[in-house]
Each structure stands twice: as C-alpha cells, then as structure tokens.
C-alpha cells in the first residue's frame, strides 16, 4: 500500500504538538517508552499515530458521532497509547 506522506506528516505534527504542549502528557511518555523498548522515533510515532487515527476518525466522522452521540474519548486514546505497540482498539 502506498503511504500518504502528507497525511503521515500531518499526524506526526499533531503528535509533536501534543508532546510540546504536554497535552495529553501520556503522548510524550508513550514515545519515550516505545523508544526505550527499541523502536526508532519514527516507528514510535507511527504507533502513536495509529492510536491518534482512531480518535481522528471519530472526530471527523460527524454523522457517525452525532448519531451515536460519541464525543472525543480521551480515556480510549490514553488506553490505546498505553497498549502500544498492540493495535489500537476502537472501543
């Protein structure tokens, strides 16, 4: 599958913004943890990006969110960060 570099760069920018703002703090902690486990910074951000993509999907899918009344779920995002490098869960 061809990588959409523009999308990846945008997601990495969001990750960098979260780290710089320390919001949520778990993003920076997860990046460090994954790098301590031997993943490169790029690989670690790819994993974090997977967890972030779940949240972006729900945020931008307004019809789904309105129908299901699903707000931004920071708890799910934090849980998915804690479980990386396992695949993120949408529940």
Q: What's the pLDDT band for 22 if we cut at 50, 70, 90?
A: very high
| pLDDT tens digit sequence for 3-21 | 899 999 999 999 999 999 9
CA distance 74 to 40: 25
Supply the pLDDT for residue 43: 98
The parent domain of residue 12 ranges over 5-83
In a domain, 88, yes or no: no
Burial of 15 (0-12, 13-18, 19+ CB in 10 A): buried
In a domain, 16, yes or no: yes
Mean pLDDT of the 64-78 span: 74
In a domain, 28, yes or no: yes
The answer to whether the beta carbons of residues 36 and 73 sit under 8 Å apart is no
Decide: pTM greater than 0.85. Answer: no
Number of domain units in the chain? 1
- Whether residue 70 is predicted with pLDDT greater than 70 in this model: the reply is no
In a domain, 79, yes or no: yes
In a domain, 55, yes or no: yes
Burial of 8 (0-12, 13-18, 19+ CB in 10 A): middle
In a domain, 64, yes or no: yes
CA distance 41 to 45: 6
Higher pLDDT, 58 or 25: 25
């Amino acid at each position: 599958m061809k990588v959409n570099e523009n999308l990846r760069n945008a997601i990495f920018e969001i990750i960098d913004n979260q780290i710089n703002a320390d919001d949520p703090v778990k993003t920076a902690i997860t990046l460090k943890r994954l790098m301590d486990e031997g993943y490169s910074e790029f690989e670690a951000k790819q994993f974090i990006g997977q967890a972030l993509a779940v949240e972006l999907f729900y945020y931008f899918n307004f019809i789904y969110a309105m129908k299901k009344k699903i707000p931004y779920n920071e708890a799910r995002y934090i849980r998915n960060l804690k479980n990386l490098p396992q695949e993120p869960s949408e529940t």
